[in-house]
Amino acid sequence: MTLVDVAERVRPPSPALRALVGVLTLWQRDLLRFWRDRTRITGGLAQPLLFLAIFGAGLSPWMGRLGGATMAPDYVQFIYPGIIGMSVLFSSIFSAVSVVWDREFGFLKELLVAPIPRWSIVVGKALGGSSTSMVQGLLLLVLAPFVGVDLDFRAILLLVPLLFLLAFALSSIGLVIAARMRSTEGFGLVMNFLVTPLLFLSGALYPLNNLPSWLLVLTRIDPVTYGIDAIRRVVLAATGVPQPVIDQLGVTLFGHPLNPLVDAAIVLGLGLVLIVIAARQFERPE
């Protein structure tokens, strides 16, 4: 048997298989880095807990029952889904800083010359950031009994994909920005400027009804709004809040109340658009 015969028998992996291996490898790498960095896990939980304690204890006596009904949630129950969404927001959008680190230390250059399509790098990074952020959001579910929220198994099963979709869209935003950043300092400045309006326009800390028209428009173009609305609807419904009260406190679009499925579709659509933009950014030469 000649070397030519051996070469003909040993076929290189297909482009699809190479792309799949690239996605799974980067996904696994981010999960391992997250698991080994216990400080990151603790820090990611500290800020949401601080917000829940300060805003909940400070404003709950003044806010009373939101919605005015007997079965309406109190302020702590209202902001609890928003705090979960806030945890996902911070952890997922800042997870893209790993791209900037990889660029600074030369690892990204090795990925770009590897025999895998560049879009697989983006997808692998997005899935890694989404998974770790979803885990941090799910960890906050252990606080549900302490804030008067009753979550059954069905509600938890619904929250898992909702948190993942929100994290996926937000990780894609981070990747779009990180694709052109050359320093962690610059990335941090841009992210801090972006995260604050995303959080405060999302309805995480206050209802979005009875707002001025210009502010109402800004809340509707905030992608976090729909992710938190879906989480809040699932959490409040599991707690026993009547549907009319949930609709009153939830997001409306063109005068119609949304539901978790519509919210999830909007977030998913945004995430897919952003992941395509991020992939095109990586296709450009360094």
* Domain presence at residue 4: no
* Domain presence at residue 7: no
In this prediction, residue 93 carries a pLDDT of 85
Q: Are 85 and 231 in contact (CB under 8 A)?
A: yes
What is the rounded CA–CA span in Å between residue 250 and residue 226? 9
In this prediction, residue 130 carries a pLDDT of 92
In this prediction, residue 286 carries a pLDDT of 57
In this prediction, residue 8 carries a pLDDT of 47
Question: Into how many domains does the chain fold?
Answer: 1
What is the rounded CA–CA span in Å between residue 267 and residue 172? 11
Q: Are 181 and 187 in contact (CB under 8 A)?
A: yes
* Domain presence at residue 11: no
Domain of 39, in residue numbers: 17-283
Q: Are 159 and 234 in contact (CB under 8 A)?
A: yes
HEC string of the chain?
CCHHHHHHHCCCCCHHHHHHHHHHHHHHHHHHHHHHCHHHHHHHHHHHHHHHHHHHHHHHHHHCECCCCCCCCEHHHHHHHHHHHHHHHHHHHHCCHHHHHHHHHCHHHHHHCCCCCHHHHHHHHHHHHHHHHHHHHHHHHHHHHHHCCCCCHHHHHHHHHHHHHHHHHHHHHHHHHHCCCCCHHHHHHHHHHHHHHHHHCCCCCCCCCCCCHHHHHHHHCCHHHHHHHHHHHHHHHHHCCCHHHHHHHCCEECCEECCHHHHHHHHHHHHHHHHHHHHHHHHCCC
Token pair for residue 37?
Answer: 């960095």
* Domain presence at residue 236: yes
* Domain presence at residue 1: no
Token pair for residue 44?
Answer: 């990611």
* Domain presence at residue 134: yes
In this prediction, residue 101 carries a pLDDT of 80
In this prediction, residue 265 carries a pLDDT of 94
* Domain presence at residue 8: no
**What does pLDDT average to in each consecutive run of 10 residues of the chain (286 residues)?**
46 72 86 79 76 72 60 81 90 84 77 80 90 90 85 91 94 88 81 88 85 87 92 91 85 85 93 90 69
* Domain presence at residue 5: no
In this prediction, residue 193 carries a pLDDT of 86
- Closest listed residue to residue 231, CA positions, set 249, 216, 212: 249
